[in-house]
Amino acid sequence: MLEVGMKAPDFRLMDKDGNTVNLSDYAGKKVVLYFYPKDNTPGCTRQACAFAANYEQFQMQDVVVIGISKDSVASHLKFAQKYNLPFVLLSDPELQAIQAYGVWQEKKLYGKVSMGVVRTTYLINEQGNIEKVMPKVKPDTNAAEILAYLAGEQ
């Protein structure tokens, strides 16, 4: 897991429309980078919809929202269309960013151990450094917690 103050690892991934996106494209802006396990699952859908519902507030503060999972570009496109998601969704099937950010971890579900994405959010500052790390976030409150932090309430 990366820590506050560290340089955020750059990446080069495809968005839902097949465009190449680098983290460095957003230099000079704050970036909310959230990693989630899978499109169209209950928790991930609630988290994405919460970001969508608060998207205007992020825009007003010139904050970019980016969601990353290992789902395909096609899956992201369907997910974004189905739920009207206005922010960037990036596909990381090779786990490039997922591993660089330390969110590919051992998970236990019903006694079964497997590797997967642990829901984690990073706030990256305008200089490309990690400003806040939010490990094991709750899907329903993640967007509101970030907005509260940005407003100086946390």
CB-based contacts of 87, cutoff 8 Å, min separation 6 = 51, 52, 55, 58, 64, 65, 66, 67
| CA torsion through residues 4, 141, 75, 70, sign | positive
Determine the Cα–Cα distance for residues 101 and 147; give it in Å rounded to an integer.
22
Choosing from 23, 44, 65, 77, the catalytic residue is: 44
Taking CA atoms, 153 is separated from 53, 142, 144, in Å, by 20, 14, 11
49 included as an active-site residue: no
Determine the Cα–Cα distance for residues 15 and 41; give it in Å rounded to an integer.
19
Helices 42-53 and 73-83, axial angle in degrees (round to 10)? 60
Provide the annotated active-site residues. 44
